Amino acid sequence: MSALPITALYAGLLAFVLLWLSIAVIGHRRRSRVSLGTGEDKALLQATRAHANFCEYTPFGLILLALLEAGGTAGWMLHALGLLLLAGRLAHGVGLMHQKGSIRLRQVGMLCTFTVLILGGAMLVAQGLLG
């Protein structure tokens, strides 16, 4: 059993989102025959940005979750933050992967992700200050 079972759950679920985004990039690369960069292919650019954005935000969200769990934060709060991070990363990825790009899904995704970063960060600062 994991020492941080709630964080482990969301890390596992988010790993599948990363896998989906990675496979999408590979598919776009094969179709466009572009092995490095994105060439002139807008769909490949969108897929690589969806993948990169996921890789930029997700690890820090999971670090916050792990630190909160290690610090004894209530399970319901950890699940709320984990679900919000998962929903945010999924919404952003789906929104960015569409050819035309769904700005609404991207906005919802970033709002969810930023909420996790703000709440998680604030909770850790409070834990640090209050000892």
- The structure's pTM equals 0.91
Nearest to 66 by CA among 14, 130, 19, 17: 14
- Residue 102's H or E segment, with its range, is none
Burial class of residue 99, CB neighbours in 10 A (0-12, 13-18, 19+): exposed
Which residues form the domain of 61? Answer: 5-130
List Cα–Cα distances, 98 to 46, 54, 130, in angstroms: 8, 15, 45
* 46-63 pLDDT tens trace: 888 899 999 999 999 999
Q: State the CATH number of the domain containing residue 24.
A: 1.20.120.550
* 17-44 pLDDT tens trace: 999 999 988 887 788 776 676 678 787 8
Q: What is the pLDDT of residue 44?
A: 81
Q: What is the pLDDT of residue 99?
A: 60
Domain total for the chain?
1
Rounded mean pLDDT, 95-107: 80
Residues 14, 82: Cα–Cα separation, whole Å: 10
